[in-house]
Amino acid sequence: MLGQVGPDVVQCSRAGCREAATSAVHWRNPALHGPERVKTWTACDEHLPYLRGFLGARDFPVVVTAVGETVEGVGDAGPEAP
């Protein structure tokens, strides 16, 4: 959590947050990339709704998983529930 440093702690991607991430937010910009091109942000519980909302407002497709899980691609269907 706050203040922990080390290779086993994944930090939240929200600017200024240093909390441990619990979710992986996989997304892509469909105007630039196909479903196989996936970008991933990490999120703590507090910032997951913010990051999903940020991407959803832009109509970017989103898949949320636990930290460490991967996805093969992100479809065209807009934001998905975890």
Domain extents in the chain: 1-73
Low-confidence ranges of the chain (pLDDT < 50): 1-3, 78-82
Q: What is the pLDDT of residue 81?
A: 39
pLDDT value for 1: 43
Which residues are CB-neighbours of 1 under 8 A, at least 6 positions away? 19, 20
Q: What is the pLDDT of residue 6?
A: 60
**pLDDT of res. 5:** 52
User: What is the C-alpha to C-alpha distance for residues 59 and 35, in angstroms, rounded to an integer?
Assistant: 14
pLDDT value of position 36: 86
pTM of the model: 0.81
Give the pLDDT score at 73.
Answer: 86
The SS3 call for residue 12 is coil
Q: Distance between CA 50 and CA 39 in Å, rounded?
A: 17
